[in-house]
Structure 1
Amino acid sequence: MRPHHLELTAFGAFPGDVDLDLDRLGAGGLVLLCGETGGGKTTLLDALGFALYGAVPGLRGVRDLRSHHAPPEVGPWVRLEFSVPGGRYRVTRTAGWDRPRKRGDGTSRVHPTALLERWTGSGWDAFATRNEDVGHEIGLLLGMKPDQFFQVVMLPQGRFADFLHADNDAREALLKQLFSVGLFERVEQWLADRAKRAADDHALARADLDRVRARVTEAAGLETPQDQPDETGRRGRARPPGGETPSQDWAASLAADARAEADVAAARRDDAARAREQSERVLAEAREATRRAVERAELRARLAGLEAREPEITLLADELDAARRANPVGRAVAEAESRVVEARA
């Protein structure tokens, strides 16, 4: 974000109008705000933050940002023109203030307003007119929330002298107040928890290893090696000067035997797998032969039934043939009877 132009009226230490051409001020490089206390240095930074987010950095609030020296009828407002990679924008905000009533005594509270405009090349186009909408759009344009902006871009003034004279605990508390460190504290705690769990797991694994080593040594008929200090003073497994401990020799022999037995078991497994495949093929062939035998028996039974009904089927075929031959005669008789009836009529 690059600010170009800042205007303000009746804001903070300035009772009148202030117009700053920030492009002109920044043409030479760095800009230094200097002056006596109360001269308005903080007000300019407050105005920039208020224009963007409707808030000011540090512990100051936005309840009473109006200059106490401004004319009673003049309200506080700030306008900032700035640019981001997406374009050039202008934001205008008015702060809440108590305006004198036009009739009678007393004041009326004027609520804050906000307006965000985009430069189109030929003029300013308003596209956000509510405080919430302007704040949301500013957050999208700058990619930061108000607290992030005031911690990264515009640090609160007046807090670093306390930091320089504070003890370690006070400095830590002040840094936590200035910068959001909650995420890092959670990461630190997460890493500490992970380290503790890893240490616990390591201790459990070491205990399991010791138990297994003791069982192997006991099965080998050897004495369990004891932890004894080595030449450096650290405690470890005692070893003879020339080589491995007896339990380690036995464990190595046991491992070799286990590998040999594993090879034999693997060969037996392969043989069993081949035998199973052959048995499955034989079983499939037997099932297919059984299915065909059953199908053959069913067909033979059906054939025997048909052969037993052969005389009946022959008789029915003769009757069907006679009926077919008699069909033309029946139609002729019916036609003759119909003609006789017509002749009698």
Structure 2
Amino acid sequence: MRLHRLTVTAFGPFADTQVIDFDALSSAGIFLLRGQTGAGKTSVLDAVCFALYGGVPGARQKPGLALRSDHAAPGTLTEVTLDLTVAGRRLEVTRSPAQQRPKKGRAGFTTVKAASALRQHDATSGEWRALSRTHQEIGKEITELLGMSREQFCQVVLLPQGDFAQFLQADAEHRARLLGRLFDTRRFAAVEDRLAELRRGAEQQVRAGDERLHAVAQRIAQAAGPDGAPPLPEGQPGDPDLAPGVLAWAAVARSVAGERHDIAASALAEAGHRERGARAEREAQREVARLQARFEETRRRADTLEESRAGRDEAQALLDADRRAERVQDAAGSREGAEREHEQAAAAHARARSALPAGLAEAGAEQLAAAERTARQELGALEAAGRAEARAAEIDGERTELERQLRADEEAVRDAASWLGAWDGLRGRLQAGIDEAQQAATRAEALAGRLEPAVRRRDAARERDAAEREEAAALAG
């Protein structure tokens, strides 16, 4: 941000319009505002802050403290105009606070509302272009361009008047409070309080974790027994050495437990090996006993079979004889069935021969086949003749219907010829009727034209007669 020109009117100690050309002052690179107390050094900075943010720093912004100069003429209005360049833009901000001015032409004062205006210089045309005239828009624009609020601007850019002298003479505690008030370190105090709160919470979590860790270690020691782990380390929850000591103790206890586990696992494996050997030996003994029992059973069955060999041979001979007898019996039964079927076929053949004509009763197979073909041909010819006869009957019916339609058509033709013969006379009569109707319509139109005047004359005559009667009655009276 670079200030170019500041114009103040009736502001602070300045009763009239004062112009400060910062470009001329800063030509040497740096300048100093110097003057006696009350000369207006702080008012210049207040005017800059008022032009930018519509307010002044510190306690001078409190209600009841007016920005208007007490030495200004009643008709002179308080106004501050600041010409500056910020973010590469040449701007002009004009502000005036709420104030009293004399009423025009009357006694008393009236209140003038606070006003603001923002313009931007157009380098191309060399003219000022209005941007906004509302306090909110101008304040938002300036805050975005500077990147600071009014409070931040007053703390960082402007040096609070009189506060540093008080700071140099104060004690350490008072300096801390003063620095906190000057630079608004409340957020840092809040951060410190928050960190302290987090530290206390972390300590509580650590203490709770140590308690859980110590309880777990005690359960481990109880489970390991007096010879399974070394003594637990001494300490209270929250001690910095408790957790590392317990973890080291747990590592030793784990190592001891691992060794004991390995020994137990080895012993278990050896016991398992011996158990598997005993099981295998027992199974082998059981198999030998089973085979011996099976051998004894087989030998007993062999002895029994040997004793019954003679009876078995005799039964086998009887069985073979019985099977041969069954085969002979089956052949005899088949022969009897064939004879019965032959007799039935011969009877059927005789019946079929008896149904044939006399000339074919003794004919052979070839003659019978030829006779069958001839009969089939004759049957086909008879069926064709039947179909032809049916078609002939249908044709006769169609011919009869056509003859009937022909007679009807001839009768219609005769009726039409008769009607056409009488048409000329009928047409003449109809034309004569039409002519008479047209003549009657013409006469009706003529009569209608004469009727209306006659009606008017009749009405006039009636009115005349009525008037004469009234006149006669009046004379008679």
Same fold (TM over 0.5): yes
**TM-aligned CA distance change 1:156 to 1:236, over 3 Å:** closer
The Cα offsets for residues 69-109 of structure 1, whole Å up to 9 and x where unpaired, read as 12221111111111112411110111222112233332111
- What does residue 187 of structure 1 align with? 191
Could you say what secondary structure the match of 1:69 adopts?
coil
- Shift of residue 139 of structure 1? 1.1
Q: Which is worse superposed, 248-257 or 90-99?
A: 248-257
Question: CA, structure 1 residues 56+236, in 2 after alignment: closer, same or farther (shift >3 Å)?
Answer: closer
1:5 aligned counterpart, secondary structure:
strand
Which residue number in structure 2 is paired with residue 99 of structure 1? 101
Q: What residue is the counterpart of 1:302 in the other structure?
A: none
Contact 1:7 1:18 in 2 (8 A): yes
Of structures 1 and 2, the larger Rg is shown by 2
Aligned to 1:252: 255
**Is residue 2:72 matched to residue 1:66?**
no
SS of 1:190's partner is: helix
Alignment-derived partner of residue 109 in structure 1? 111
Spell out, residue by residue over 1:157-216, the C-alpha distance to the aligned partner (whole angstroms, 9 max, x if none).
Answer: 122222233344433333332222232223222222222222112112222221222222
Please show how residues 263-278 of structure 1 align to structure 2 within 5 Å: none
> How far apart, CA to CA, are the structure 2 residues paired with 1:164 and 1:101?
50
Change beyond 3 A, Cα 1:200–1:342: farther
Q: Check whether the contact 2:230–2:253 (CA below 8 A) recurs between aligned residues.
A: no
Distance 1:107 1:221, change over 3 A: same
Q: Give the residue type in structure 2 aligned to 1:251.
A: R
Unaligned runs of 5+ in 2: 266-390, 409-477
| Structure 1 residues 16 and 215: CA distance shift in structure 2, 3 A | same
Secondary structure, counterpart of 2:129 in structure 1: strand
2:86 aligned residue: 84
**Between structures 1 and 2, the one with greater helix share:** 2
Match of 1:308 in 2: none
3-state SS of the aligned residue for 1:125? strand
Over 3 Å counting, the alpha-carbon distance change for 1:249 and 1:39 in structure 2 is closer
Q: Does 1:214 align with 2:199?
A: no
| Conservation of the 8 A alpha-carbon contact between 2:2 and 2:86 | yes
Q: Residues 90 and 120 of structure 2 are in contact (CA less than 8 Å); yes or no, is this contact kept in structure 1?
A: yes
- Where relative contact order (Cα < 8 A, 6+ residues apart) is larger, the structure is 1
Give the secondary-structure state (helix, strand or coil) at the position aligned to 2:60. Answer: coil
Deviation, structure 1 residue 30: 2.3
Q: Report the CA distance between 1:226 and its aligned residue.
A: 5.1
1:214, 1:224 within 8 Å by CA — same for their partners in 2? no
Instruction: Give a deviation string over 1:204-241, Cα, whole Å, max 9, x none.
Output: 22222212222222212127735459xxxx9879x9xx
Residue 3 of structure 1 aligns with an amino acid whose one-letter code is L
Structure 2: which amino acid aligns with 1:152?
V
Give the counterpart letter for 2:45 in structure 1.
L
**CA RMSD of superposed structures (Å):** 3.3
Moved more, 45-54 or 59-68: 59-68
Match of 1:225 among 213, 217, 231: 231
SS in structure 2 of the partner of residue 55 of structure 1: coil
Ranges in structure 1 where 5+ consecutive residues have no aligned partner: 262-328
Whether the aligned pair in 2 keeps the contact of 1:115 and 1:130 (CA below 8 Å) is yes
- Counterpart amino acid of 2:118? L
Partner-residue secondary structure (3-state), 1:162: helix
What TM-score, normalized to structure 1? 0.67
Q: Partners in 2 of 1:5 and 1:106 — Cα distance?
A: 35
Higher share in strand: 1
What TM-score do the two structures reach when normalised by structure 2?
A: 0.49
Could you tell me which amino acid in structure 1 is paired with residue 253 of structure 2?
W
* Distance across 2 between alignment mates of 1:107 and 1:190: 54
Change (3 A) 1:236 1:44: closer
**1:301-320 equivalences in 2 (<5 Å):** none
Aligned equivalent of 2:27:
27
State how far apart, in whole Å, the 2-side matches of 1:112 and 1:236 are.
70
Give the letter aligned to residue 49 of structure 2. Answer: G
Which moves more between the two structures, 129-138 or 113-122? 129-138
Q: Counterpart of 2:59 in 1: which secondary structure?
A: coil
User: Is the counterpart of residue 156 in structure 1 residue 153 in structure 2?
Assistant: no
Q: Determine if contact 2:117/2:134 at 8 Å carries over to the other structure.
A: yes
1:18 aligns with 18
3-state SS of the aligned residue for 1:155? coil
Q: How many residues align?
A: 263
Q: Does structure 1 retain, via aligned residues, the 8 Å contact 2:167–2:175? A: yes
Are residues 235 and 88 of structure 1, via their aligned partners in 2, closer, same or farther at CA, if it must alter by over 3 Å? closer
Cα separation, 2, equivalents of 1:344 and 1:65: 133
Which whole-Å CA distance do the structure 1 matches of 2:213 and 2:155 have between them?
52
Whether contact under 8 Å (1:8, 1:79) holds in the other structure is yes
Question: Structure 2 matches for 1:122-133, cutoff 5 A?
Answer: 122-133=126-137
* 2:81 match: secondary structure: strand
Q: Which residue is 2:282 aligned to? A: none
Q: Following the alignment from structure 1 to structure 2, what is the Cα–Cα distance between the partners of residues 226 and 214?
A: 8
Q: Which residue identity does 2:129 align to in structure 1?
A: D
Paired letter, 1:89: L
In structure 1, distance between residues paired with 2:242 and 2:137: 69
2:166 is aligned with 1:139? no
Match of 1:286 in 2: none
- Matched residue of 1:141: which SS? helix
Secondary structure of the equivalent of 1:82? strand
